[in-house]
């Protein structure tokens, strides 16, 4: 199918619906592309083509995306037919006795899921280089660079044209960072907009949520509509939406009050190419009729990041101890990579009171940010402080977990924007609006008030119409 890549997921589903192509033919195309392109990328790390063929033969559900090839991240999205490694030797070949609510909704939409994509161990980090997969996951735009993390395999697979859309998740930017790194659209919805059950009530004290990597805005909108809504027994729910994500695509955003920040949230300079991309976006938004003012929040972002680091360390220690069936016994190097072992060790010094204080800190940060958004509808920043990093820069060999996260050369210096909105729970998105001098993607980050998902989706669709990006593709193998 020569024009496979010219269609997004919604477009492919329409072809299936019209009888112009079959689900079998689309799966064959995706599998052929995986065979040709994945060896260089190490993006799709678990192949379940046999499951997809069996489901097609028995009849896919009739839904909005029937017959569209799809990939799950190898972290979360628990499903009976799709065991996972969860990015770790310790969790290799984990099997599930029931489907997660999220996967059940994806399955009911008619998607043809045929594999899982690489994720770093524990979902920690802005690169995807897990030892369990035998090597790093690489960026289709330049194989010497990372596709980001933790949904790096998903980003690489979509950017490479293997699938039009893929599942991801985001606890500190893990959808938006790969979107920026791979030239894709990545939307993090408001906290609790998507289900976490039945395997969890919330992730990382409510900071983690699922999402998707797509080329088109409408694919993300449709996938979010398929999955949104609380599941049985959820501890809390997101505010109701005034319209669906899909309806928001055709509802142009009213003139918005936009805060434009060309530094980090703490006022530090970022890469000049990235700064210029953000500034260009500000000018574009002004031309579109929005009211743009240079400003940045005065919230305690450094304090939030220290609290985030504690919470994630405790979450890491929890999954390691549960997997090993032990408490207080350090994991070994053949079980857990260096950053995970460092996180486990750091967590041993965090008391229950310390943990609750950290949760309280991120709640306070949410209130500080909410006060800023009383004056603005949108905050525009970069997604990353620089173009995609080289392979190896953020691998997991170091046991200095705190340094890895918050040191001068650490993840927070490289990605100083995204985790803020995991802490606050606000909707945020990375839009592929720029490119570096050497051809690497640069994403622009937009955040909206808590619950204002539809407004952010409307603005994203407006930006896609004003500055289309679908024509920008990484170089393809001959």
Q: Is 73 a catalytic residue?
A: yes
Closest CA to 404 of 82, 100, 149: 149
- Round to the nearest angstrom and report the end-to-end CA distance of the chain: 16
Half-sphere exposure of 380 (CA within 13 A, CB side): 31
| CB contact at 8 A, 170 and 445 | no
Active site annotation includes 188: no
If you compute the radius of gyration of the chain from its CA atoms, what whole number of angstroms results? 21
Catalytic residue among 151, 174, 415, 460: 174
* Catalytic-role residue among 100, 150, 415, 460: 150
Nearest Cα to Cα of residue 21 among 12, 8, 34, 32: 12
Distances (CA, A) of 477 to 43, 89, 161, 163, 177: 15, 31, 11, 16, 24
Q: Which of 75, 125, 87, 120 is nearest to 418 (CA)?
A: 125
As a whole number of angstroms, the distance between CA 2 and CA 116 comes to 25
The closest of 242, 168, 237 to 453, measured between CA atoms, is: 242
* Residues facing residue 208 across a β-bridge: 203
Tokens 């031309």 belong to which residue? 287
How large is the greatest C-alpha to C-alpha distance in the chain, in angstroms?
60
Q: Provide φ and ψ at 455, rounded to 5°.
A: -60, -40
Q: How far, in whole angstroms, is CA 31 from its chain's centroid?
A: 23
Residues in the chain: 478
Q: What CA–CA distances, in Å, run from 155 to 151, 181, 199?
A: 6, 8, 25
For residue 35 the two structure tokens come to 């065979």
Is residue 478 annotated as part of the catalytic site, yes or no?
A: no
**Torsional class of 42: left (φ above 0), alpha (ψ -120 to 50), beta (otherwise):** left
Instruction: In whole angstroms, give the CA distance from residue 383 to residue 178.
Output: 10
Other beta carbons within 10 Å of 439: 13
Question: CA 169 to CA 153: how far, in whole Å?
Answer: 12
Question: Could you write out the DSSP letters of every residue in 54-80?
Answer: HHHHH----STTTT-EEEEESSS---T
Q: Are 162 and 42 in contact (CB under 8 A)?
A: no
Question: What is the β-pairing status of strands 291-294 and 428-435?
Answer: unpaired
3-state secondary structure of 351: coil
Q: Annotated catalytic residue: which of 73, 188, 310, 361?
A: 73
DSSP letter at 203 equals B
Residues belonging to the active site: 73, 150, 174
């Amino acid at each position: 199918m020569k024009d496979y890549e010219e269609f997004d997921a919604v477009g492919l589903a329409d072809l299936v619906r019209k009888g112009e192509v079959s689900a079998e033919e689309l799966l064959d195309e995706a599998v052929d592309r995986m065979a040709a392109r994945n060896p260089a990328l190490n993006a799709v790390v678990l192949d379940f083509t046999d499951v997809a063929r069996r489901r097609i033969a028995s009849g896919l559900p009739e839904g909005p995306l029937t017959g569209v090839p799809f990939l799950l991240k190898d972290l979360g999205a628990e499903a009976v037919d799709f065991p996972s490694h969860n990015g770790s030797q310790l969790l290799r070949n984990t099997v599930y006795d029931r489907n997660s609510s999220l996967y059940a909704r994806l399955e009911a939409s008619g998607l043809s899921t045929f594999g899982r994509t690489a994720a770093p161990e524990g979902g920690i980090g802005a690169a995807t280089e897990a030892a369990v997969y035998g090597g790093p996951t690489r960026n289709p735009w330049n194989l010497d660079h990372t596709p980001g993390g933790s949904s790096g395999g998903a980003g690489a697979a979509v950017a490479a044209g293997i699938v039009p859309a893929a599942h991801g998740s985001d606890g500190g930017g893990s959808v938006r960072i790969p979107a920026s790194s791979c030239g894709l659209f990545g939307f993090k919805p408001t906290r609790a907009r998507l289900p976490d059950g039945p395997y969890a009530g919330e992730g990382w004290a409510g900071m983690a949520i699922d999402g998707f990597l797509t080329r088109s805005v409408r694919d993300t909108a449709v996938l979010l509509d398929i999955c949104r809504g609380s599941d049985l027994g959820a501890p809390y729910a997101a505010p109701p939406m005034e319209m669906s994500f899909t309806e928001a695509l055709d509802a142009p955003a009213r003139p918005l009050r936009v805060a434009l920040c060309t530094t980090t949230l703490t006022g530090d300079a970022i890469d000049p190419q990235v700064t210029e991309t953000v500034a260009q976006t500000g000018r574009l938004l002004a031309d579109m009729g929005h009211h743009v003012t240079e400003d940045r929040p005065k919230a305690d972002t450094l304090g939030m990041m220290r609290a985030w680091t504690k919470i994630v360390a405790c979450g890491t220690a929890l999954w390691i101890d549960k997997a090993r069936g032990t408490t207080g016994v350090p994991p070994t190097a053949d079980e857990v990579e260096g950053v995970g072992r460092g996180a486990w060790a750091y967590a041993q010094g965090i008391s229950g009171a310390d943990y609750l204080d950290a949760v309280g800190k991120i709640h306070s940060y949410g209130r500080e940010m909410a006060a800023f958004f009383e004056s603005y509808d949108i905050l525009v920043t970069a997604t990353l402080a620089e173009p995609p990093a080289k392979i190896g820069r953020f691998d997991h060999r170091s046991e200095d977990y705190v340094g890895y996260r918050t040191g001068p050369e650490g993840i927070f210096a490289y990605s100083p924007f995204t985790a803020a909105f995991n802490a606050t729970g606000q909707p945020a998105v990375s839009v592929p609006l720029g490119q570096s001098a050497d051809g690497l993607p640069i994403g622009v980050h937009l955040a909206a008030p808590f619950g204002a998902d539809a407004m952010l989706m409307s603005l994203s669709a407006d930006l896609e119409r004003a500055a289309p990006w679908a024509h920008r593709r990484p170089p393809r193998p001959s």
